[in-house]
């Protein structure tokens, strides 16, 4: 049964277990990618699925996203769910306490205005200002990718210890150095209810590879959604397959 939702070329996923910790990316993993960040569809079934798993795994479920936590809360409306936002720069622990990295904020402030000017020159671009990071979306002007990459790289050149450029799916992100999805996972794994559990991380994007690296180092399970190069050992085809696999997990735990 698991085989039908995994890609043909990867081994069947192991049987889900109560002793695992679950880490989930959002865009492209739990929800389909759409034309604009505000247009994702988070239905009630997904919210219930996340809540049920959190209960069954004694709280060891966290969303690990590039989005800001306020934005994740707006879409998921699960205010007590553990989360990491902005590629590890902010996080909400399992006690509900919020934390945010600040070391790069001065440098970010210095480039913010210049990125805004760039966006004003091309109305097909969309700037998502997340507070501790900037996402410049070029989904509606994909040919601009190469030039944007070199322009944004030049903009942050002055701040090599504070800022770095990440490339996602038709988006470039300017974010603080020293934080990524790998450090976000590592942080959760040092404290209960995540510590002492086998980590499972499901993600679709190249920024999720940092998380896969951490999970692999902890002998956990890295699951890549969709196609493309990856260091993950397993794959699921798309968000629907992810939902199906999570539902199997719920079913197993409720009937064991
Ligand atoms: O780490 P994630 O939860 O996967 O977030 C990664 C980025 O996702 C969002 O952008 C992407 O999804 C949009 C909606 O489907 C799409 O329009 C865009 O092209 C994608 O890059 C989000 O807006 C970013 O802030 C996240 O970093």
Q: Is CATH 2.160.10.10 what the domain over 16-100+179-254 is classified as, yes or no?
A: no
Q: 3: pLDDT confidence band, cut at 50, 70 and 90?
A: very low
pTM (two decimals) = 0.95
1: pLDDT strictly greater than 90: no
Q: Which residues line ligand 1 (CB under 6 A)?
A: 25-28, 33-37, 40, 65-67, 128, 135, 137, 139, 168-171, 173, 205
pLDDT for 6 beyond 60:
no
Distance CA 221, CA 223 (A): 6
Is residue 4 pLDDT above 50, yes or no? Answer: no
Residue nearest ligand 1's atom 17 by CA: 36
Report the b/e string of 198-237 with b at 16+ CB within 10 A. Answer: ebbbbbbbebbbbbbbbbbebebbbbbbbeeebebbbbbb
Residues identified as active-site = 25
**Which of 20, 21, 27, 16 is closest to 225 using CA atoms?**
27
By C-alpha distance, which of 28, 179, 162, 164 is closest to 90? 179
Cα-based distances in Å from 111 to 48, 122, 162: 40, 17, 12
Per-residue model confidence as pLDDT tens digits over 37-59: 999 999 999 999 999 999 999 99
pLDDT greater than 50 at residue 228:
yes
Ligand 1 centre from 36 Cα, in Å?
A: 8
Closest CA to ligand 1's atom 6: 66
Sheet holding 221-225, edge to edge: 98-100, 90-92, 82-85, 61-64, 20-24, 198-203, 221-225, 234-236
- Indicate whether this complex's ipTM tops 0.90: yes
- Residue of the nearest CA to atom 27 in ligand 1? 66
Q: Give the chain's mean pLDDT.
A: 94
Asked if 135 and 128 count as a contact pair (C-beta separation under 8 A), the reply is yes
Q: How many whole angstroms from 27 Cα to the centroid of ligand 1? A: 5
Please report the atom of ligand 1 found closest to the CA of residue 35: 17
Q: Which residues pair with 85 in a beta bridge?
A: 90
In this predicted model, what pLDDT tens digit does every residue of 137-161 receive, in sequence order?
999 999 999 999 999 999 999 999 9
pLDDT score of 2: 39
C-alpha to C-alpha distance for 145 and 245, rounded to whole angstroms:
34
Between strands 82-85 and 126-129, the pairing is: unpaired
Q: Domain extents for the chain?
A: 16-100+179-254, 105-176
Does domain 105-176 fall under CATH 3.30.70.1020? My reply is yes
Q: How far is the CA of 64 from the centre of ligand 1 (A)?
A: 12
pLDDT in tens, 116-139: 998 998 999 999 999 999 999 999
């Amino acid at each position: 049964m698991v085989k039908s939702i995994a890609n043909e070329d990867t081994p069947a996923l192991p049987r889900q277990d109560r002793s695992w910790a679950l880490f989930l990316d959002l865009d492209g993993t739990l929800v389909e990618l759409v034309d604009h960040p505000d247009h994702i569809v988070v239905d009630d079934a997904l919210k219930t699925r996340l809540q049920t798993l959190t209960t069954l795994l004694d709280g060891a479920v966290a969303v690990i996203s590039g989005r800001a936590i306020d934005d994740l809360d707006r879409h998921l409306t699960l205010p007590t769910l553990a989360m990491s936002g902005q590629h590890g720069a902010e996080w909400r622990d399992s006690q509900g306490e919020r934390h945010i990295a600040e070391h790069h904020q001065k440098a970010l402030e210095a480039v913010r205005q210049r990125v805004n000017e760039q966006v004003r020159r091309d109305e097909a671009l969309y700037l998502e200002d997340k507070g501790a990071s900037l996402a410049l979306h070029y989904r509606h002007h994909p040919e601009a990718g190469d030039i944007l990459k070199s322009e944004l790289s030049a903009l942050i050149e002055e701040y090599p210890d504070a800022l770095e450029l990440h490339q996602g799916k038709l988006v470039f992100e300017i974010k603080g150095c020293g934080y990524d999805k790998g450090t976000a996972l590592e942080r959760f794994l040092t404290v209960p209810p995540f510590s002492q559990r086998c980590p499972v991380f499901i993600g679709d994007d190249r920024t999720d590879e940092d998380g896969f690296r951490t999970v692999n180092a902890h002998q956990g399970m890295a699951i890549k959604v969709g196609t493309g190069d990856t260091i993950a050992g397993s794959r699921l085809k798309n968000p629907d397959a992810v939902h199906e696999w999570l539902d199997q997990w719920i079913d197993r735990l409720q009937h064991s």
